[in-house]
């Protein structure tokens, strides 16, 4: 899978994603990340890519033409007869979540557009953008970190980016439940003991305990997720949730 990022700060993207699991996947060639500097496509001798907003107001607006040229440069490298998703990172977009990550992981190529200053000339957005995406209800100075977050979340769903034993199939949000707590050696740390059931070697009991811990965590920390989670609940799950609600 290939990610193309149109940005004024390409080194932010490449240095931020060149490590750990995503860095390994790039090394192996499982994923490719190409950060394209919009400034390289400026149409003036000063390499400016922004100008004052028509109608006045604070800040500068990124011009349409350099963005459009950067886009065409990328399109020339991609399979010509395929329509490619172009994701504009903006707080005015649909809020990114695991479901969207799964959907986008099916794509062969994705182009991200990162804005800075007060935004980008609306006309080029109308011309090229297929998806407006936000990463949450707060305002950032640019779309680079949001794009990196999306690339990370999408990449780990691409086959063979994760090892089998870190598989993304059974984990938080897959069934709208949070993960159960984890422990490793030593058995006692600061007078706190690892739960006995995890030392018992009784796999059915361990599975039951972990399932209940997931439900408990979600109930306590993200009750908003439970509305969806209960749709896949077993009879035992429901009985356990009732106990939690009754403070038993």
Minimum distance of ligand 6GU from residue 102's CB (angstroms)? 19
> Residue count at the site for ligand 6GU (CB under 6 A)?
12
Minimum distance of ligand 6GU from residue 90's CB (angstroms)? 5
| Helix or strand run (H / E) with residue 202 | none
Which of 58, 80, 83, 139 is close enough to bind ligand 6GU by CB under 6 A? 139
- Under the binding rule (CB under 6 A), the answer on residue 119 touching ligand 6GU is no
Among candidate residues 153, 155, 170, 173, the one with its CA nearest the CA of residue 229: 173
CB atoms under 10 Å from CB of 163, counted, come to: 9
Minimum distance of ligand 6GU from residue 145's CB (angstroms)? 8
Among candidate residues 177, 213, 218, the one with its CA nearest the CA of residue 195: 213
Torsion over CA: 130, 4, 91, 57 (sign): negative
- Under the binding rule (CB under 6 A), the answer on residue 135 touching ligand 6GU is yes
Cβ-based nearer residue to ligand 6GU, 16 or 146 = 146
- Under the binding rule (CB under 6 A), the answer on residue 97 touching ligand 6GU is no
- Under the binding rule (CB under 6 A), the answer on residue 136 touching ligand 6GU is yes
Cβ contacts of residue 92 below 8 Å, gap of 6+?
A: 132, 134
Listed ranges 20-28, 105-113, 128-136, 173-181: which one lies at the site for ligand 6GU (CB under 6 A): 128-136
Q: Are 132 and 88 in contact (CB under 8 A)?
A: yes
Minimum distance of ligand 6GU from residue 37's CB (angstroms)? 18
Cβ contacts of residue 27 below 8 Å, gap of 6+?
A: none
Site for ligand 6GU in 156-215 (CB under 6 A): none
Cβ-based nearer residue to ligand 6GU, 91 or 230 = 91
Rounded to 5 degrees, what angle do the CA atoms 12, 16, 19 make?
Answer: 150
Minimum distance of ligand 6GU from residue 97's CB (angstroms)? 13
- Whether a cis peptide bond, with omega within 30° of 0, leads into 222 is no
- Under the binding rule (CB under 6 A), the answer on residue 91 touching ligand 6GU is yes
Binding residues for ligand 6GU (CB under 6 A): 89-91, 134-136, 138-140, 142-143, 146
């Amino acid at each position: 899978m290939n990610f193309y990022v149109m940005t004024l700060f390409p080194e932010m993207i490449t240095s931020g994603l060149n490590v750990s699991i995503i860095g390994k996947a790039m090394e192996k060639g499982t994923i490719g990340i190409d950060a394209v500097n919009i400034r390289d496509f400026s149409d003036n001798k000063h390499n400016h890519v922004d100008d004052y907003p028509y109608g006045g107001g604070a800040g500068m607006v990124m011009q349409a033409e350099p963005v459009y040229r950067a886009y065409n440069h990328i399109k020339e490298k991609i399979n010509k007869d395929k329509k490619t998703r172009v994701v504009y990172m903006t707080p005015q977009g649909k809020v990114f979540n695991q479901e969207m990550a799964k959907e986008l992981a099916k794509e062969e190529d994705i182009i991200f557009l990162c804005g800075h200053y007060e935004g980008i000339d609306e006309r080029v957005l109308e011309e090229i953008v297929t998806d407006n995406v936000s990463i949450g209800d707060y305002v950032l100075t640019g779309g680079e970190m949001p794009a990196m977050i999306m690339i990370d979340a999408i990449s780990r769903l691409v086959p063979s980016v994760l090892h089998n034993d870190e598989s993304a199939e059974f984990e938080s949000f897959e069934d709208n439940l949070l993960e159960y707590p984890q422990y490793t050696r030593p058995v006692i740390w600061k007078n706190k003991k690892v739960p006995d059931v995890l030392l018992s070697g009784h796999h059915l009991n361990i599975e039951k305990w972990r399932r209940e811990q997931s439900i408990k965590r979600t109930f306590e920390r993200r009750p908003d997720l439970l509305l969806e989670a209960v749709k896949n609940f077993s009879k035992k799950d429901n009985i356990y949730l009732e106990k939690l609600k009754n403070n038993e």
